[in-house]
Amino acid sequence: QANYELSFTIMRSPVAINLLQKFIKQTSIYRNPLSYVDCIDTHYVETFNIVALLYHDKRINFQLRDSYKFRSDLTCLDWNENVDRPATSVTVGQNARAPRRRSGKRNLTSKT
């Protein structure tokens, strides 16, 4: 087409191609593809959305772009700082509504 411009750069350097391949092969998605084929592992997306709701209240209309960006930056900082926090212990209790469920609740370390 006449006015089409590429939105990406074609890699021609063997060193750059090798570095990119090495990075891709180290990712969790590449090493565990079966966890992502059927969208089994959505934990990170769900936790980010929960944190986003802490800073982006649904009832507020963010007309000021700076305020929205500020709250988005706070969301990213909070999530990145506290994702995959280690657990101090696991509490296993019985729920009256689901008596056969035995999965424990992780007690996480406090937020930084």
> Which tokens in the block code for residue 104?
């424990």
Write out the residue range of the structural domain in which residue 53 sits.
42-90
**Quick one: 76 and 48 in the same domain?**
yes
Residue-level pLDDT at 74? 92
- CA dist 112 and 106 (Å) reads 17
pLDDT (mean) for 67-80: 88
**Quick one: 50 and 32 in the same domain?**
no
**Quick one: 19 and 53 in the same domain?**
no
pLDDT over threshold 90, residue 110 = no
Taking only the tens place, the pLDDT of each residue in 19-61 is: 999 999 998 888 888 777 776 667 888 888 899 998 887 777 7
Decide if 24 is inside a domain: yes
Residue-level pLDDT at 109? 83
Residue with tokens 């056969």: 100
**Quick one: 78 and 64 in the same domain?**
yes
Taking only the tens place, the pLDDT of each residue in 83-103 is: 888 888 877 777 677 766 666
Residue-level pLDDT at 22? 94
**Quick one: 55 and 75 in the same domain?**
yes
Backbone CA torsion sign across 58, 61, 65, 66: negative
Residue-level pLDDT at 102? 67
Domain count along the chain: 2
